[in-house]
Structure 1
Amino acid sequence: MSDDDSLMEYSEIVMKMFGSEDDGFEFYNNYAYEKGFSVRKEYCEWDNGHNERTLRKFVCSCEGFRAEKEDFIDEHNHPMTEPDLACFLRSHRRINDDQKAEIVQLQISGIHKHQIMDIMVRRYGGYDKVGFTSRDLYNFYHRNKAETLSGGDARTIISYMTESKRRDPDFFFQYKTDGRGHLTGLLWCDFQSQMDYRAFGDVVVFDGTYKTNRYNLTLVPFVGVNHHKSTVLFACGILSHEDTESYVWLIRSFCDAMIQKHPISVITDGDHAMQKAISIFGAFGVVGLVVGGIIAAASSSSRRR
């Protein structure tokens, strides 16, 4: 571009007026796409009452491009990206609403993330036509999942369990929700876990001391030991409340999963609500109570092996 063309382009840009900050950002982002660089929003200034913005600065991702209300500086200390690669720069990538809806549907259907990206690439005719990268898809995938669950919506996990049941008819799950649709109880196990229980389920250990997830739900694994002295998982449960009623529901669901085959002995962490639930439900014979410290020591020993 000649000096005269550059001067004319500069004059046209600094004379432009925009109805909103978003309009201004969209203009400069399009300009950056044509030139081969990416932009981001930097700081802003407010009026004395802090009611309206008086200045917003946009900068190159490498901080060489600056656009202010009264100035425009088109200087860069880095080479520009080739036109056919500019679409991969950060400010030019976006997952639109239609794509988000399709990704969620594919996710619910059990399609893996890398397969979803492959589907999108084929549909749009190439990576440069999709509008986002694999990293963008992974970030959206996990962000959408976290937002859905943190909002108390149990439909996502139930949809996943239902799809697992559809793919494997022997997969078992039961759940309960409160009046607001929040998940309060869930138990699940696959066919292999059921077979392990039939062979090695005379002694069952279940412990409600695990709260390692971000939602503060109690994870209750049902485990045993096989003929190789290795730990086997019979089922997993999740509870929102550690009370007798919740444990009664969990034990009943476990027995339903195992077709009412009851263990001979149960080892627990000595939780009073758990003990009472066992006595109320009457599902188990001899109950052995082991303090949490011994269980923790056994778990540590198992990890070392």
Structure 2
Amino acid sequence: MQFTSIEQAYAFYKSYAKLGGFSTRKGGEVHSGGITKTKYFVCSKEGHKAVCIEDRSSKSKKPYKSRNRGTIRTGCKAHLMICTVDGRLYTVKRFVDGHNHKFVCPDDIHMLPAYRQLSDVQEEEMVWELGTLNLGPVKAFHIMRKRYGGFENVGATVDDCKNFRNRINSYIEECDADMVINRMADKKQYLADYSFKYSVDDEKRLTGLFWANGLCKPNYIEFGDVISFDATFKINRYKMVFVPFTGIDNHC
């Protein structure tokens, strides 16, 4: 059996593994003359978990803490080895199909990490867009479950949705203040009577922000007799005061 690329061979072995009830990963490779001459694809349970050896020569006084995590490795020897002469065609040179572990039943194969992946549509339209509506990743997952007709059709788990949301938050963490100011500026440009002001310190960090939309202003003029000024002091992650102005209208 021959393949035109390493990726084509891996896609074939991955499809075979999914039908068989196990998952795979890319193994070692041998290079020569700038060409990958030999490539291994192995079972995801190949090898054993690395043992952490305490380094007594380390000068660090802080004790090292490792997470007590289990392992799926069982030392499985199943693998596929492909080789090439010129880097154009890869030929199967060795195929070992003997596993030392149980296979996953077809109904649960979608739960293996290798086959769990959020699509671009799921990431953008479901997890991200629903997050802008204050719907968390757990609710986004259950909406996708309803939409796609079951857990097995989502292609991911609740934890995958949470991890994606955490990656987004980590990515925007350094520019979140800029994003807020840009959003306010866009609203001021396109919405009538929208106002906002902000202040920064010497290091250009956001220290204050005030905004009011076009509906708040006439309401204040009409129902400005009773205004609640509620300062919740420094309980958010930014250590900033959040002060909503609440008016009482004729409907209380």
TM-score range, shorter chain: 0.5 to 0.7
Aligned residue for 1:24, secondary structure, equals helix
The residue number in structure 1 matching 2:12 is 27
Equivalent residue in structure 1 for 2:79, among 57, 62, 66: 66
With over 3 angstroms needed to count, the CA separation of the structure-2 counterparts of 1:131 and 1:45, relative to structure 1, is same
Q: Which runs of 5+ in 1 are unaligned?
A: 1-14, 163-172, 178-182, 198-231, 239-249, 260-305
1:16 matched to which residue of 2? 2
RCO comparison, higher one (Cα < 8 Å, 6+): 2
Q: Distance in 2 between matches of 1:84 and 1:68?
A: 29
Conservation of the 8 A alpha-carbon contact between 2:20 and 2:103: yes
Distance 1:23 1:96 in 2: 21
- What secondary structure does 1:233 align onto? coil
| Residues 59 and 188 (structure 1), Cα distance of their counterparts in 2 relative to 1, 3 Å cut | farther
Question: Deviation of residue 149 (structure 1)?
Answer: 3.4
- The Cα of 1:92 is off from its aligned counterpart by 1.2
Q: 2:116 aligns with which of 93, 110, 122?
A: 93
What amino acid maps onto 2:172 in structure 1?
Answer: T
Question: Residues 14-36 of structure 1, C-alpha deviation per residue, up to 9 Å, x if partnerless?
Answer: x131x322222211111111000
Match of 1:41 in 2: 26
Q: Give the drift of 1:188.
A: 6.4
Q: Does 1:57 align with 2:40?
A: yes
Aligned equivalents of 1:25 and 1:175: distance in 2? 54
8 Å CA contact 1:188–1:237 kept in 2: the answer is no
Contact 2:79 2:95 in 1 (8 A): yes
CA shift for structure 1 position 174: 6.0
CA contact (8 A) 2:138 2:161 kept: no
Write 1 or 2 for the structure with the bigger share of helix: 1
Q: Deviations over 1:40-80 (max 9, x none)?
A: 112222224xx332222211111122111121111100111
Could you say what the CA RMSD is over the residues aligned between the two structures, in angstroms? Answer: 3.7
CA drift of 1:124 comes to 0.6
Structure-1 separation of matches of 2:36 and 2:169 = 34
What residue identity is the alignment partner of 2:22? F
Matches within 5 A, 1:96-135: 96-102=119-125, 103-135=127-159
Task: Give structure 2 stretches of 5+ with no counterpart.
Answer: 47-75, 83-92, 186-195, 211-227, 246-252
Alignment length, in residue pairs?
A: 174
CA distance in 1, matches of 2:38, 2:124: 36
1:1-305 equivalence runs, <5 A: 15-17=1-3, 19-48=4-33, 51-63=34-46, 64=76, 65-69=78-82, 70-102=93-125, 103-150=127-174, 152=175, 154=177, 175=198, 184-187=205-208, 195-196=230-231, 232-233=233-234
TM-score, scaled to structure 1: 0.48
Q: Distance in 1 between matches of 2:173 and 2:122?
A: 21
The separation in 2 between residues aligned to 1:24 and 1:155, in whole angstroms, is 45
Report % sequence identity: 28
Q: CA–CA distance in 1 between the matches of 2:167 and 2:25?
A: 21
> Which secondary structure state, in structure 2, belongs to the residue aligned with residue 68 of structure 1?
strand
Task: Give the letter for the 1:25 counterpart.
Answer: Y
